[in-house]
Chain A
Amino acid sequence: MENSNDIVIDVKGLRKSFGDNHVLEGLDLELHKGENIVVLGKSGTGKSVFIKCLVKLVEPDEGKLEVLSKDVQHLTEEDELNALRRKVGFLFQGGALYDSMTVEENLKFPLKRMPDKPSYGEIDDRVHEALKNVGLEKAIHKMPAELSGGMKKRIALARTLILQPDIVLYDEPTTGLDPATSKEISELIVEMQETYQTSSIIITHDMACARITSNRMKVIRDGVFKYEGSYEELKKSDDKWLMDFFE
């Protein structure tokens, strides 16, 4: 793990402000191949902004940002940027399923827009495999509005993984779900990570999810990663502020 060649995300001194709102004030993070880092932090501390910088949904103000050895900020060619984005899956907080499309069309959407688009047969196979992975083959013809919160998250996960990304960024994958469903989703994340050998950054404030999914945790406070360690290590900490998370 200490080999610097297997670093898939390398962030140094990342800063981002919106006007006077200084959200990120120098973040450093190294994600190694096969690793799951959980990023913990209170609401509005810039966790989503951080992972959005990684795929250039948000332009950072300052700092080094390398994803899969590509300098994201200076990736000006649209084709290159899109190629990188296909290797980085992004699970949005609300799932972000396309309302006007069926589950099947949702899953096919990214596949059909690849530059070397797979054959129809292969697209169908991959859709079925992705649905099987999340245990929802029967939902293939449903519209997103007909799905429960947990099912939406599963479909969104299937859509995120369908391009077989190397890295997956999860934005609060269990928020808004009941504890039992949260646990299922967390276990599914680990299962998919093992199946497809992905590396992930998982944003959450659900401690059960953090315990199940994390190899390492980083806690954001006042715009920087203030604490770092394994779940067990952080749990033992006697920092008052940190202890509130584990209650």
Chain B
Amino acid sequence: MKIVGSLPGSFQDFFINVAGIGRFTSRFFKQLFKPPLEWREVLVQAYQLGYNSLFLVSITGFIIGMVMTLQTKPTMEQFGAESWLPAMVSISIIREIGPVLTALICAGKVGSGIGAELGSMKVSEQIDAMTVSGANAFNYLVVTRVIATTVTIPILVVYADVIALVGSYVGVNIEGDVSPTLFYKQSLDILVYSDIIPPTIKTFFFGFAIGIIGCYKGTTADKGTTGVGRAANSAVVISSLFIFVIDLVAVQLTQLLI
């Protein structure tokens, strides 16, 4: 505690947040196995967050696939390795860019949305109202949203990967002529399981982090209208940070294990 106390404010806040998120997560797992699970609300939340992020994820996925292709192309040409271009782009997208970029976008869109929604519910005493009516507000609000993000964000990542590959295909064809089948072969043949499975697993953790941090920040929002804004804002900042940390750990683990 002494060490933490002597650190600059922003570092202290970070550690306080980590401790709070830790406690919140353990509460989540305790509640998760306590009936009743609000299935209907899980589906509503999953649908809403998927639907609301689809446009943003599509656009960024497409552009990043295309831009990466266009940027890499000259270098590959210098080495006379043009036919490796689709493979190189697809590996980068599937292993790293797709998951991290999509998660960051979702942290911005979904994490802030959850933070703001629950924050305003907290500030206007709606969460207290649920509690005193004998309902389990944590089950209804938090457990549902965390399940929704944990399940939906991996799906969005797979979708973004596909769209990014379409973008890459368009990028290849701006000054070239590669048939879809050839592109498909060139980009996907090289992939092995270790390119696909570990990045997919980490996206579940991304989704979980976004959900849990958004809910934590929302349900602990300070009174007043600024409290809601701060909850939304720090939900984005902290979950983005967590995404990078999880990514780092995931990459290290993958290299150790495979």
Contact = CB atoms under 8 A, between A and B. Distances in A.
24 contacts: A52-B128, A57-B132, A82-B136, A83-B134, A85-B134, A86-B134, A90-B128, A90-B129, A90-B133, A93-B125, A96-B124, A96-B125, A96-B129, A97-B126, A98-B129, A99-B120, A99-B124, A109-B130, A109-B135, A110-B133, A110-B135, A113-B135, A113-B140, A163-B134
B131 interface: yes
B91 interface: no
Interface of B: 117, 120-121, 124-126, 128-136, 140
Contacts of B125: 92-94, 96
B126 A98 contact: yes
A99 B121 CA distance: 8
Contacts of A114: 134
Contact of B136 (A88, A100, A113): A113
A86 B128 contact: no
Contacts of A96: 124-126, 128-129
A98 B120 CA distance: 10
Contacts of B134: 82-83, 85-86, 110, 113-114, 163
Contacts of B133: 85-86, 90, 109-110, 113, 159, 163
Interface in A56-113: 57, 78, 82-83, 85-86, 88, 90, 92-94, 96-100, 109-110, 113
Max chain A Cβ within 10 angstroms of own Cβ: one of B124, B125, B133, B140: B133
A163 B128 CA distance: 16
A68 B125 CA distance: 24
A94 B135 CA distance: 19
Which 10 interchain pairs have the tightest Cβ spacing? A110-B133, A96-B129, A82-B134, A86-B134, A113-B135, A96-B125, A90-B132, A85-B134, A92-B125, A55-B132
Contacts of A88: 132
Contacts of B130: 98, 109
B7 to A, nearest CB: 23
Nearest to B131: A57
A6 to B, nearest CB: 24
Q: Helix, strand, loop or mixed for chain B's interface? A: helix
A167 to B, nearest CB: 12
Contacts of B136: 78, 82, 113
Contacts of B131: 57, 85
Contacts of A100: 117
Contacts of B124: 94, 96, 99
B32 to A, nearest CB: 15
Contacts of A163: 133-134
A186 B18 CA distance: 47
Contacts of A83: 134
A84 B206 CA distance: 39
A89 B128 CA distance: 12
A46 to B, nearest CB: 15
A58 B128 CA distance: 10
A194 B126 CA distance: 28
Contacts of B140: 113
Nearest to B123: A94
Nearest to A81: B134
A163 B134 CA distance: 10
A85 B132 contact: yes
**Residue among B126, B132, B135 having the largest count of chain A Cβ atoms under 10 Å:** B132
Contacts of B128: 52, 57, 90, 92, 96
A159 B128 CA distance: 14
Contacts of A55: 132
A99 B126 contact: yes
Given A86-B134, A113-B135, A159-B133, 5 more contacts: A90-B128, A90-B129, A93-B125, A109-B135, A114-B134
A163 B130 CA distance: 13
A97 B133 CA distance: 12
A83 B134 CA distance: 7
Contacts of A99: 120-121, 124, 126
